[in-house]
């Protein structure tokens, strides 16, 4: 029997551990924030990010603090036309961790797809009866 490939052998210890699913990123609001920032490398203003992610001021502020403390984002405060503006952008470390997170999440989806079948495929069709032979 050939050696098993640990990437496909579901009996390998730790095979479904998914250690790359970063707990800081694996939260709905923070995942939305980081995805938005990944799509906007120049960064996003606080209000734009709030709108894109459907969060309140307080909720967004709290999640930004967590992401900033983890080194995933940089938050800068500046003035634009005499008005304060908070700009958020993904750091290099944040982009790398997000890329690894997505790689791991892709593996989760692939593993789940391998064991999940649509209902129509799971039904077993009864064999058709054989047609009687016509006399020659």
Place of tokens 């203003």: 45
From first to last of its 136 residues, the chain has per-residue pLDDT tens of 344 444 556 778 888 888 878 899 999 999 999 999 999 999 999 999 999 999 999 999 999 999 999 999 999 998 888 889 999 999 999 999 999 999 999 999 998 898 886 655 555 555 565 555 555 5
Ordered DSSP codes for 38-67: HH-TT-EEHHHHHHHHT--HHHHHHHHHHH
Kindly list the structural domains of the chain, giving each domain's residue range(s) and its CATH number in brackets, ordered by start: 28-110 (1.10.10.10)
Cα end-to-end distance, the chain, whole Å = 50
CA distance 89 to 41: 7
* 43 neighbors 87 (Cβ within 8 angstroms): yes
CA distance 65 to 57: 12
């Amino acid at each position: 029997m050939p050696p098993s490939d640990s990437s496909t052998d579901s009996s390998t210890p730790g095979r479904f551990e998914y250690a790359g699913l970063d707990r800081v990123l694996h939260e709905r609001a923070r995942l939305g924030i980081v995805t938005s920032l990944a799509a906007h490398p120049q960064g996003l203003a606080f209000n734009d990010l709030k709108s894109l992610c459907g969060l309140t001021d307080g909720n967004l502020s709290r999640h930004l603090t967590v992401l900033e403390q983890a080194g995933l984002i940089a938050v800068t405060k500046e003035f634009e036309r005499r008005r304060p503006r908070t700009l958020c952008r993904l750091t290099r470390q944040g982009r790398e961790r997000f890329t690894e997170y997505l790689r791991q999440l892709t593996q989760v989806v692939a593993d789940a797809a391998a064991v999940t079948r649509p209902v129509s495929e799971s039904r077993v069709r009864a064999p058709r009866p054989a047609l009687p032979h016509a006399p020659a």
